[in-house]
Amino acid sequence: MEIELDLSELQLDWWLPIVLGALLFFGFVGYWVTPDDGRILTPQEWQVVQAERQYQRELTQLREYGCQLAQFLSTQDPVRVQLQVQRMMDKVSQMTSPALASQRRAFVNAANAVIAYQQGQASRDEAIAAVQEFLDAVK
């Protein structure tokens, strides 16, 4: 008994790149989401990995904001500083990692102190102390 397959109607010249592209895509995605030890994650472990990644992203962002707040102390442009600090405060208010709640509160205090200093409502030393307290919180 012979079985014949007529593959002449399948145009492999355009299927082959699509299949190879899909394999490469899923390979990269798999590499990116697989933990370092290569084990398969349960749904609970996957949530932990996602929470750790979110924590690291938010902590990095808070550290960058701390450096920017420190730079704003030497800038004498209250309007620009207030707008940029307000943007940072909006982004910080969208952060959701529960482990960083105290750091977010410290950021808000430092940001308000920098704005108050720029507007002449607080001394430079008060603003420096608030920013330093925040930087210590995100070490």
Q: In the prediction, which pLDDT does 65 show?
A: 98
Compute CA 34 distance to the chain's CA centroid, rounded to the nearest angstrom: 19
Only one residue has tokens 């920098």, namely 114
Are 130 and 110 in contact by the 8 Å Cβ rule? The answer is yes
User: What is residue 6's DSSP assignment?
Assistant: -
Residue 64 has pLDDT above 70, yes or no: yes
Spatial separation of the C-alpha atoms in residues 41 and 92, rounded to whole Å: 30
Average pLDDT over residues 32-52: 82
Alpha-carbon radius of gyration of the chain? 26
Neighbours of 99 (CB within 10 A): 12
Which pLDDT tens digit goes with each residue over 90-134?
999 999 999 999 999 999 999 999 999 999 999 999 999 999 999
Only one residue has tokens 């309007």, namely 79
Which pLDDT tens digit goes with each residue over 6-35?
766 666 677 778 888 999 998 888 877 777
pTM of the full structure? 0.74
